Amino acid sequence: MNVIDASVGFKALVIETDSPKAIQLIEDYRNATVELVAPEFYPVEVAHALTRAERQGRISPAEGAKLLTSLLQDLPRLIPSLPLLPKAYVLSSQARIGVYDCVYVALAEKEGCELVTADHHLIKTFQGSFSFIRSLASLP
């Protein structure tokens, strides 16, 4: 099992650096060769990134709508985030990094699995403390 964050979900939809690895991870999930989980706000966070890409002119509104449909068809198993919030809050407060990011870390810690992310700031901030954080770029 792996936790994936919105940075990975976005790269599986909008082509950029390491997108082939994100696409392969989602394909492996679709083929049931890997289990993926994420906090229940994951689709909202990816949708937010899609609208940002639209505003930046990287994708059209029509493309964004199609990508959102694709996202909703391949969602990881969504986990409630409220039970993770106390741990995420402590991590966020100590590391001065967003609570949303810390919920992903808390989920991976709780599940005893890897967190796959393309968020370089998250990796830099926590990888020394949490060996289960894995860069998308490091996947085969």
- What are the tens digits of pLDDT across the range 51-96? 999 999 999 999 999 999 999 999 999 999 999 999 999 999 999 9
Confidence of residue 110 (pLDDT cuts 50, 70, 90): very high
How many structural domains comprise the chain? 1
Residue 133 · residue 114 · CB < 8 Å: yes
CATH of the domain at 56: 3.40.50.1010
Distance between CA atoms of 95 and 22, rounded to whole angstroms? 27
Check residue 9 and report its DSSP letter. H
Q: Whole domain around residue 113: which residue ranges?
A: 2-138
The confidence score (pLDDT) of residue 31 equals: 95
Coil/strand/helix, residue 110: helix
pTM of the model: 0.94
**pLDDT per residue as tens digits for the range 30-58:** 999 999 999 999 999 999 999 999 999 99
